[in-house]
A and B are shown apart, each in its own frame.
Chain A
């Protein structure tokens, strides 16, 4: 008993000690999944990069901030987009900035157009259940024989053709004979469900609150009262201004332009359902690779195999794809109601339309330069 206890304890200690080296050895892991993308951009209204502000006589410069999602997981966090502004500094003859002659950032305001937020190019793959119904018939039916390309006259002798049709069918051999025997064994209409339907719905029009990443919250307006002196901005060289701001523990005025909040609302589910129905209704059930149809041949056959149709599916394997598709497209698919679990990723574009406005100023006439910094945060 004592010896057994000691052996067990020693073995356990050795196993525990061996954990260290095991953990220290790196090992390769390869996993293939879709990598979602989220890109942020500041653009002119025509989509070109925004590089300069030409306020002109009206003192306004419209632009847009764009967040573009590609295959983004619906369970991933949202985002926020904020803006800060430096003072505007007089540009000297030598192109150097005159930090003593400014238009304060407080003279620059953020406003918005009539439609401040828009979402477009939304598309979502929907992995839903498909209910498959219908009757395949059997080879005593001339319609089924036509679908399968069975020409009894070419396959049977004249004497055999005098027999009742069921007996003629029983004489068939080879793949067609196997299929006809299997079809004869299918005594009930097909009624099965497959989970291999993934249909992408696109061009969804949704209220801002029902977007996959809802554009929520008011767009912040008003003046950039406290300027930014951040590195990389026109204010970075304004040492006096920067020092004064630091002494006052002053942070730059930040204005929220847009924020995306994740969540699948009943409105989104309803819109996806409505968009999916006509898509499904216009497509045939099956094609060779699924193109232009609800399912690929392999997926449908895999779905049917599990519903007491294994013998038929096996027999169909002996036929060409054209014959298989002709027979199986007698069946009809209907999308079953789905919930949020059917949705996984989304692609789409979320756009805000801010307007930068500069108030009339009594500043020294000349060209002024400042920097608008637009920050995108990904939690």
Chain B
């Protein structure tokens, strides 16, 4: 299991190194991992959980620090639109509700955790939210998280199955070759 998580971490490390396409508000942006990615598309493992990295950036470009509240929340569809739930409302996605301040041009690596398990039927959505409150106005930029059922077979089991199949194949070859020689 540790190897599965390590492999997952390696893959996500690789993805995080590739710039994405960010969105945000108040000069604070969320960049999902993956080249050109504008949202998170996560295969939810059947057990355990995975940490999903993303970057927070100050893109204000005016040499000033930028502050925002950052959290994750459930999202549902309503018609052709989306409805954002309260902070922490997603049972699948966890991250501490935090208030961040980024120095000019600062880029900070963050992550949220996706809990493994059986997803319900239908679309499961969440969002990483950047929220800025200015008096009577709350502006929120939600980068969507699309959750789908992941690979059901852990990697070690998969590799062991392949190795076993190859040994069986080799054994069959030995038997066939032996019969041919006897014939």
Contacts and interface: CB of A to CB of B under 8 A. Distances in A.
A369 B10 contact: no
A38 B36 CA distance: 13
Given A20-B155, A231-B87, A40 B31 contact: no
A23 B166 contact: no
| Chain B interface mostly | mixed
Interface stretch (A74-82, A110-118, A276-284): A74-82
Contacts of A5: 170, 173-174, 177
Q: Which of B20, B22, B156, B162 has the most CB of A within 10 A?
A: B22
Contacts of A38: 21-24, 29
B81 A80 contact: yes
Nearest to B170: A9
A6 B27 CA distance: 63
Contacts of A79: 23
A23 B21 contact: no
A251 B137 contact: no
A45 to B, nearest CB: 14
Given A17-B163, A379-B38, A35 B3 contact: no
Contacts, number: 186
Given A2-B174, A51-B136, A376-B23, A12 B166 contact: yes
A355 B5 CA distance: 51
Given A31-B18, A40-B24, A20 B138 contact: no
B136 A39 contact: no
A370 interface: yes
Interface centre among A37, A39, A76, A256 (most CB of B within 10 A): A39
Size bin of chain B's contact surface: 35 or more
B10 A26 contact: yes
Dominant SS among interface residues on chain A: mixed
B9 interface: yes
B152 interface: no
B183 interface: no
26 contacts: A1-B181, A6-B170, A13-B163, A13-B166, A16-B163, A20-B3, A23-B6, A26-B10, A31-B35, A37-B59, A39-B24, A39-B29, A72-B21, A76-B36, A80-B82, A230-B86, A232-B131, A251-B83, A254-B78, A254-B81, A256-B81, A370-B136, A372-B138, A374-B139, A375-B140, A378-B39
Interface of B: 3, 6-7, 9-10, 13-14, 17-27, 29, 31, 35-36, 38-39, 59, 69, 75, 78, 81-84, 86-87, 127, 131, 133-144, 155-156, 159, 162-163, 166-167, 169-170, 173-174, 177-178, 181
